[in-house]
Structure 1
Amino acid sequence: MTFEALQQQRNCILLECISGSKAYNLQVPTSDTDIKGVFILPQRELYGMTYTDQVSNATNDEVYFEIKRFLELLEKNNPNMLELLSTGAGSQLQRHPLMDLIRPQDFLSRLCLDTFAGYAKTQIKKARGLNKKINQSYPATRKDVSEFCYVVAGGRSIPLAAWLHENNLKQQDCGLAGIDHFRDVYALYHPVQFSTVATFKGIFSGENANDVQLSTIPKGVDPLVIMQFNKDGYTVYCKDFAAYWQWVTLRNDARYQHNKELGADYDSKHMMHTFRLLNMAEEIALHKEVRVYRHDRDFLLRIRNGEFTYDALLEMATQKLHNMEQLYAKSDLPEHPDPQLAAALLIRIREEYYVPKK
């Protein structure tokens, strides 16, 4: 089964819904239309050597789950599957009567604290990292090793580059020797110190080097200066530099520009959906239902529009998470869905679909 094949065999689609912002009542003029659905494999394909659990279009904004995979995820209280099952009639494009056998209330359990609120926790953690990246700015060219090297001269620490410039020396002409029992500290030499010709490798091999390099130094000559390489600092810098530019490459540029125009130092759409999940988790504990259509649209869109500070949102989220743990502790929801239910439903749905009653 492929996405294209499923579109040609639409009788295999058990449920097809508009999903995402338009289902949540959080759409804005630029919102795309996302589709999620459930399908059942043709009987011959099910009995064959392969099993297709999910298909999607090239852009991944239309995704369909095979009924077995759908029930497996539903049993784990996966938020996407519970939302899909609970999508209102106004957002349903196609629904087979067999889907009436699968009721959201039969699957809701205390697992939702981990799946809805736990997922929100993960998003908050990501938001912290994203906040850091938004407020970072790295030039396109990475700093080289020399910018993390310092020499001791005149009783003070001087950046290596400044010291070389002051003394009209080039790093390529210098040589380093390690000093016992002094981590990342080196004796630095230059050919001018030697009566015979001395050739050294340089302090580092080039702008792409990740460490300093040692040279063979003739004996009997004191170092010109002592140099320290802040290797730990350089390693952290390189890691942050790479992570920042990977983020720049992969980020949603339209969303980034939107946040930049708002002056928000966080991904406002990302945080909006974090609070949507938190509110939905509360509603599951209080009302035992998944409310996909959001009546808190105004509050959530205020987050999307950057009306709250990053710190204020984190404080609100932390308080919500604390309250939610208490709500679930008091709730009479089961610890987890009935382990036999999904299996029984799967058998019944396949039997009734493949061998319809006369």
Structure 2
Amino acid sequence: MTIQDLKSKNCILFEVISGSKSFGLNTPTSDTDIKGVYYLPKDQFYGLEYVPQISNETNDEVYYEIGRFIELLLKNNPNIIEILATPQDCILYKHPLMNQLNLNDFLSKLCKDSFAGYAMTQIKKARGLKKKIVNPIAKERKNLLHFCSILKGYDSIPLLDWLHQNKMKQEQCGLINVPNAKGIYALFYDKENRLGYKGIIKNEMSNEVSLSSISKDEKEKAYLSCNLDGYSKYCKEYAEYWDWMEKRNEERYNTNQKHGKNYDSKNMMHTIRLLQSAKQILSIGTLNIKVDNREELLAIKAGEMEYEDLLQKADDLIISIENLYQTSTLPEKPNVEKAVNTLITIRTTLYS
């Protein structure tokens, strides 16, 4: 089932321009995002082929089955609430049945956790991105040997330096555990390569050291410490960093590099916008997604604010949201029974 299949069968109930153009934050380079609501052909809905969501390959066109749409509305999901709150000039098509879904029937105090909670997730994401920008990871992947060291009295020396200084090869080393000393090993060396030692690691991708059978007559050359936790953390960060490098939006990345503030400015713009939306819902009981502070938000997107100032702005908004939550006249949550009855009415009409 594709979006085109839905359109060819006249299954679209609602179709809108979303994102920056609906918020009034679009610029000449902005993409056009499309969101919508559909219902399934009767045989699919009643059969085993229920599909709750359909999107195109680039994920800039996303459509939700009417039941899934209402389910997410009841949770005050920010993306879904914003679809229903789309201004008239961004609505491409609206089936008359969609008039039964009233935005104010779904807005509730849940928005504190859904909108503000999602915004906090974006702040965490922005911090993670800042870390990636400030601390790039070399493409050449380190192996476990880089996280081993040789103990020298009260000090230590990196294993690879020690091997180089002593003209030794890791493949000719043998290790045995030191009892009651986690991560510490006695290291032996087979200069003639005749004792069958297994080396320190088996190969470049090893995630643990190798242990060998050592004769009691052999004398250890040194004691080795292996920081296995440090290596595991590095492997995770390496994979995340190079996955981000491969998938990052180059235009967005170049914008961040240009303003030189070392954070994802577009991400932070939407974070502040989400917090301001939550504040608006709790203070006036409705949501107008067309912003009235376009210049301020575009200045954030352009990187004209310091990162710490943005975090302070977000913290101030969160405090305001917490206070408004206490005095808001909105219900604790939407009326589920009313929403379900509306869904039943819509589906009964569609399938009758």
Normalising to structure 2: TM-score of the pair? 0.92
Q: Which amino acid aligns with 1:343?
A: V
Structure 1 residue 53 displacement after superposition: 2.8
Q: Which residue of 2 aligns with 1:9?
A: 9
Q: Which residue of 2 aligns with 1:242?
A: 239
- Going from structure 1 to structure 2, the CA distance change for 1:41 and 1:208 (only over 3 Å counts) comes to closer
Q: Which residue of 2 aligns with 1:290?
A: 287
> C-alpha distance in 2, partners of 1:50/1:81?
23
Structure 1 residue 120 displacement after superposition: 0.8
1:40 and 2:39 correspond:
yes
Structure 1 residue 259 displacement after superposition: 1.0
Q: Count matched residues.
A: 352
Question: After superposition, what is the alpha-carbon deviation per residue over 1:95-153, rounded to whole angstroms, capped at 9, x for unaligned?
Answer: 22332222111211101111111111111122222221222211112112222222234
State percent identity of aligned pairs: 47
Q: Which residue of 2 aligns with 1:118?
A: 117
> C-alpha distance in 1, partners of 2:278/2:285?
10
- Going from structure 1 to structure 2, the CA distance change for 1:52 and 1:204 (only over 3 Å counts) comes to closer
Structure 2: any 5+ residue segments left out of the alignment?
A: none
Question: After superposition, what is the alpha-carbon deviation per residue over 1:155-203, rounded to whole angstroms, capped at 9, x for unaligned?
Answer: 64222222222222222222222221222212222235x9x95342222
SS in 1 for 2:209: coil
- Going from structure 1 to structure 2, the CA distance change for 1:44 and 1:232 (only over 3 Å counts) comes to closer
> C-alpha distance in 1, partners of 2:185/2:43?
72
SS in 1 for 2:336: coil
Q: Which residue of 2 aligns with 1:206?
A: 203
Q: Which residue of 2 aligns with 1:330?
A: 327
Larger radius of gyration: 1
Greater displacement, 28-37 / 208-217: 208-217
SS in 2 for 1:257: helix
> C-alpha distance in 2, partners of 1:219/1:273?
66
Which of residues 212, 218, 221 is equivalent to 2:218? Answer: 221
- Going from structure 1 to structure 2, the CA distance change for 1:218 and 1:303 (only over 3 Å counts) comes to same
> C-alpha distance in 2, partners of 1:219/1:349?
82
SS in 2 for 1:15: strand
> C-alpha distance in 2, partners of 1:288/1:49?
40
Q: Which residue of 2 aligns with 1:26?
A: 25
Structure 1 residue 332 displacement after superposition: 0.8
> C-alpha distance in 2, partners of 1:156/1:90?
69
Structure 1 residue 246 displacement after superposition: 2.0
SS in 1 for 2:21: helix
- Structure 1 segment 132-143 matched on structure 2, within 5 A: 132-143=131-142
- Structure 1 segment 137-156 matched on structure 2, within 5 A: 137-153=136-152, 156=155
> C-alpha distance in 2, partners of 1:260/1:61?
24
Q: Which residue of 2 aligns with 1:276?
A: 273
